[in-house]
Amino acid sequence: MAQCSGVQSGHGTTIAIELDPTGAQGVFTTIAQLNGDISWGFNRPEEDVTPHEEDIDSWVLGVFSRDPLNFGINYIFNAPTHQATTVGSSHGLLGKLRTNDCFGFRLRGPAGADGVDEWLASGQVQAFNATSPVRVGARTADCTIRASGPMLFDGELQD
């Protein structure tokens, strides 16, 4: 059965991380149990450069900037991509927050592949907020990765 062309369902978008950034580069493991919507924004900060002698505004846009990447997971304490342990060099999200590792990560669309519908960047885990409902609902965590430095959009470099 062929894929739809044009508009796509967002279901099946994945985020993958380098569990061991000290090992071979580009070895990604998909974060388990991604729930909820995944949102990542890009922008350029603005500077108002309107001179006194003009009656219309002028702006200069600054450097290409990334919003924090926020996503949710159904938290499994001993899942390799979630766990808090810092033993060894392979760390899950909470472990990476503890060690402040810088690592490669990948956001891929539902039908993404190497260099296709794929964003690659380096960054660090900035936040990990775990929730255990008292009555109804799975154990979850809201996570944030902060990108830093050059990144690739579908194989094209942005630096």
Partner 1 sequence: MANCYLEIVAVDRPFEFDVDDNGRTVFSINFEVVAVWPNDNLEENLVKIAQDAGVSLTLGTNAFISSTAPIPTGDGPYVFVLAQPGIGTLETHNGNKQERPSAQVLVRGKPFTAARARAFEMFRALDGVRNLQVA
Contact residues toward partner 1 (CB under 8 A) are: 11-14, 30, 32-35, 38, 74, 135-136, 138
Considering the complex, state which of residue 11 and residue 52 has its C-beta at the smaller distance from partner 1: 11
Considering the complex, state which of residue 116 and residue 138 has its C-beta at the smaller distance from partner 1: 138
Least Cβ distance, residue 44 to partner 1 (angstroms): 29
Helix residue ranges per DSSP H, 40-135: 93-99
Can you give the length of the chain in residues? 159
Least Cβ distance, residue 141 to partner 1 (angstroms): 13
CB neighbour burial string for 49-69, b if at least 16 within 10 angstroms, e if fewer: eeeeeeeeeeeeeeeeebeeb
Considering the complex, state which of residue 34 and residue 125 has its C-beta at the smaller distance from partner 1: 34
Considering the complex, state which of residue 35 and residue 70 has its C-beta at the smaller distance from partner 1: 35
Nearest to 155 by CA among 122, 113, 124: 113
Least Cβ distance, residue 78 to partner 1 (angstroms): 14
Map 29-42 to HEC letters. Answer: EECCCEEEEEECCE
